[in-house]
Chains A and B, each alone.
Chain A
Amino acid sequence: MSLVSFRFFALTGVAVLVYYLLPLKYRWTAILASSLFFYYSLGSSALIPVICISVFSYIMGLVIEKSDESRKRKTLISIAVIVLLSILALVKLSGHFSTLSQYIIVPTGISYFSLSIIAYLLDVYWKKEKAERSPLRFLTFVLYFPKILQGPISRHKLLGEQLKEGKRFDWEQLCFGMQLVLWGLFKKIVIADRLSIAVSNVYSQLDTYREHGVVLAAAMIFSALQLYMDFSGYTDMAVGISQMFGIELEQNFNHPFFAESAAGFWQRWHMTLSGWFKDYLFLPVSRTEAVKKLSKKAGNRFGAAARKKTMMICSTAVVWIATGLWHGTGINYIVWGIYWGSLMIISQLAEGLFTKMKTALSIKEEAALWKLFRMFRTFLIFVFGKMISAQENMKNVAIILKSLFTKLHPGDVKMIAGLGMYGYDFAIVALGLILVLIVSVIQEKGVCIREQTAKWYAVPRWLFYCLAVTVILLIGLYGKGYDTSTFAYQFF
């Protein structure tokens, strides 16, 4: 069952209806039932491993909480984390070994729910939260259907509590949720799926386009925009569906293309993943004895600043290699991780130099043009990174790089029109992107559009909603002849 399907929306509708019909205390059971049904529809064989992982994690949570002895607690959490990471690694690596992949069932969403579970167990270990008492509620947290495919990587502290307490019916929340689902659907089936036609056309025929750097550059930009529209569209749908249940889910995006630096970008892009790596990898790594020792040595030799920077470099390097591996175990993902990690480290190390350069060039930090330049630069950094991760191997990356620098013929611009998108597709994408940009600018200023439209008179407001639904249903790419069944981040 795809998220962009009649069946999925019917399931959601029924789940919401049953949810509010049940007594407050038992409302989460409606979500559990729909999550089990949804997961089963994705592939029945994967349900058993997920249930096993959930049972194991549930028991470990309780045992860790009960245990008073520090050493025992440490052993238990280590076992739990190692087991969960080993399963994740096994699943991720199985793709490289055909004999292994025959025997491995890949549970959908394992990359996401594994991190959620590890976060939960570590929080229990650090006594930041209490262990879940109900095994079925814990399973609901793991399988929660709006987010199972590609996040957000929810924390049990937020989602588990809301599932437990149940939510009262709130008409405004229901409407807001539906609007967000609609907005996500617009991004996905009106914009992203159109861009994906051109992107897959170019990347699947690299040999044909290797002589046309302009086409490859266009594909790189389309690919970056497609990923954002696809992934943020999914997140909007996941958050929107949750809102229909009255449940608040973590935000995953905060207009990342307004970021002015690589670090700033990752504070706005896939925020729950960045947050997870910060809380559960960056900080613990920076507190390890080895890093402390190394930082101390650097501090003694080069001063206090060097100590801080050494700690940052070590933790950043570990986090970005891990981030690359989380996305995939191919060499391109490792290179992608190194690429981002290096950018973070260089920007930290050269911070002083950049400040001096800005002063010398009399650049005002608040100048709009400077900000725009920084945003554009960050966008290009992302575009390049996306190109690396989108290729099957590094040979293709090299082909694209070579073409970009040696085969840029302005006359090839015409070829972009022949990438499978028709004239009206380009027009729809352009208008769609302008709309997303306008909405983002307004939201960036702190204005909530949904709250603003809610203030309109009922008739024009509902006419607007009807028109919006019609436009999406009319021009969206879905149904026969289109593949909307998958999302870009679904297979990480």
Chain B
Amino acid sequence: MSEKIKKLIKAIAGAVFIAAVCAGIWYGLRVLLTDDTGSYTRVTLHEFYSQDNIDVLFLGASHCYRGIAPEITDEKLGLNTFNMGSSYQRIDTTYLLMKEAVELYDIDHIYVELSYNVAKKHAEFESDLTDTYIVTDYMKPSLRKAAYLLERSGDGDYANSFLVARRNWKKIFEPGYIKELAEKKQSDAYKNYEYPDNDEERYAGKGYVESDVEIPEGSFKNRPDEQTIKLEEIDPEWDKTVLDMIKFCEKHKVALTFFSTPLTSFRLLCYDNYDDFIDKVNGLIKESGSSTVEYLDFSLMKEEYWPDTSTLFKDNRHLNAKGAELFSSIFADYINGRLTYDELFHKDIREKFASMEPGFYGTEYRENADDTYYDCRLVINREEETKSFVTFISDEGEEIILKEFSSGTEFRIPMDLHGACVIGVGTSENDVQTYTTYY
């Protein structure tokens, strides 16, 4: 063996040794400093990589991992389905997971959840990589992952992206934290990838997180931050990635469907023009020229399949366990053809609300400019046909009428009032339903 080759072998061995030592040190630091004992995605990705095969894959943000129960879809479809949703999953992270899944498994169909809320925040979250890290931290090392992290990272992010322990470097000076974390990580539950359940929700397997929280009818309260869908706020990169996904799936002969989980009627009425988002996604599919890809917005579901009740939700965007069970079942029925599009869906949101009975869903409120009272609006379907009253019962028992029984939806609550707000809504005085909410 010539001297040159010997030297080269020595250099390569040295480089491998250095890389291994560095990787070892940083892995050790990550174990010591990074508390991932409460991470859903750690458990989900572990399960994701442990499957024999995935036939149907669901991708998307929290609406996805809280909305689709693979136990139900597995049973109804007779296939292995998997929910690879993660919090605020950006469309490019979805695309990354799609590529990862297609490489690992022989997938028949991918369902990608699209949400206006996440789409709108695509550009806003450009500099915040938390949503990315909660996925990439648990993905297996690969060039694809490295390339994605390089692309996502700004100049100040590279260390945080590639050296996970760096994000928590200050914890190195907290021996108590390190000791406590080490103990947590020594537990069998952590080692066996069991998610520590809490009182309200639990990890129910294959990416699905179910919640017992239930919203009582008419009790939604919301600041009117998002009164209208503003399509111009959606980053063109979001559009591009949707089109790239279509091309990718066509190339790899994987069926692709976009979907949105059902939103509450309260949320839909607050948006005012939700149909614009539906039109946008359908427009993108049309632009791609694909004849196989479709978009299913489950907010368009007819009342006979999806009852108009807030009790299926844990908040105004996410389904609870009851909602997810019903939704998963309906979704599976649609996938296996037991339900057709026309049977299940309205044409648009306008048609949906026009077909529904008048109903009251909650209150929108905002602080008045001089911070003395809240400007409130009752969110009511077919408000022109309804009348309402609002009475406030303060903590001291004093009864104050904020709105006489009349048409119109607006009223004011002085900010210094604390107590129960009784809202009555009906078409006439004999047909009034009351809801109580607290301020």
- What distance in Å separates the Cβ of B129 from its nearest Cβ neighbour in chain A? 9
> Which residues 450-473 of A have a CB within 8 angstroms of B?
458-459, 462-463, 465-467, 469-470, 473
Query: With A424-B173, A463-B21, A466-B18 known to touch, is A473 a contact of B163 (CB < 8 Å)?
Result: yes
B158's contact among A6, A424, A465, by CB below 8 Å, is which? A6
Q: Which residues of A contact B14 (CB under 8 A)?
A: 458, 462
Residue count of chain A within 8 Å CB distance of chain B: 26
Residues 21-42 of B, flagged 1 when their CB comes within 8 A of A and 0 if not, give: 1100110010000000000000
Q: B338 near A: Cβ within 8 Å?
A: no
Q: Which residues of B contact A423 (CB under 8 A)?
A: 173
Q: A5 near B: Cβ within 8 Å?
A: yes
Smallest CB gap from B162: residue in A: A6
Smallest CB gap from A484: residue in B: B156
Q: A23 near B: Cβ within 8 Å?
A: no
Q: How far is the CA of A481 from the CA of B156 in the complex (A)?
A: 8
Q: Is A474 a contact partner of B157 (Cβ separation < 8 A)?
A: no
Q: Which residues of A contact B26 (CB under 8 A)?
A: 470
Q: How far is the CA of A53 from the CA of B273 in the complex (A)?
A: 60
Query: With A6-B155, A479-B157, A480-B156 known to touch, is A473 a contact of B166 (CB < 8 Å)?
Result: yes
Q: A329 near B: Cβ within 8 Å?
A: no
> Which residues 4-61 of B have a CB within 8 angstroms of A?
14, 17-18, 21-22, 25-26, 29
- What distance in Å separates the Cβ of B173 from its nearest Cβ neighbour in chain A? 4
Q: How far is the CA of A474 from the CA of B28 in the complex (A)?
A: 13
- What distance in Å separates the Cβ of B160 from its nearest Cβ neighbour in chain A? 6
Q: Interface majority SS on A: helix, strand, loop or mixed?
A: helix
- What distance in Å separates the Cβ of B156 from its nearest Cβ neighbour in chain A? 4
Q: Is A466 a contact partner of B21 (Cβ separation < 8 A)?
A: yes
Q: A7 near B: Cβ within 8 Å?
A: yes
Q: A448 near B: Cβ within 8 Å?
A: no
Q: Is A475 a contact partner of B169 (Cβ separation < 8 A)?
A: yes
Q: Which residues of B contact A1 (CB under 8 A)?
A: 155
Q: Which residues of A contact B172 (CB under 8 A)?
A: 474-475
Query: With A466-B25, A479-B160 known to touch, is A424 a contact of B170 (CB < 8 Å)?
Result: yes
Q: A2 near B: Cβ within 8 Å?
A: yes
Q: Is B25 a contact partner of A467 (Cβ separation < 8 A)?
A: yes
- What distance in Å separates the Cβ of B146 from its nearest Cβ neighbour in chain A? 13
Q: Which residues of B contact A7 (CB under 8 A)?
A: 155
Q: How far is the CA of A463 from the CA of B22 in the complex (A)?
A: 9
Q: Is B156 a contact partner of A469 (Cβ separation < 8 A)?
A: no
Query: With A458-B14, A475-B169, A475-B172 known to touch, is A470 a contact of B155 (CB < 8 Å)?
Result: no
A-B contact pairs, 30 of them (CB 8 A): A2-B155, A5-B155, A5-B156, A6-B158, A6-B159, A7-B155, A422-B170, A427-B173, A458-B14, A462-B17, A463-B21, A465-B18, A466-B21, A466-B25, A469-B22, A470-B22, A470-B29, A473-B163, A473-B166, A474-B163, A474-B165, A475-B169, A478-B159, A479-B156, A479-B160, A479-B166, A480-B156, A480-B157, A480-B160, A482-B156
Give the 9 A-B residue pairs with the shortest CB-CB distance, closest first.
A6-B158, A424-B173, A480-B156, A479-B156, A466-B21, A470-B25, A474-B169, A5-B155, A479-B159
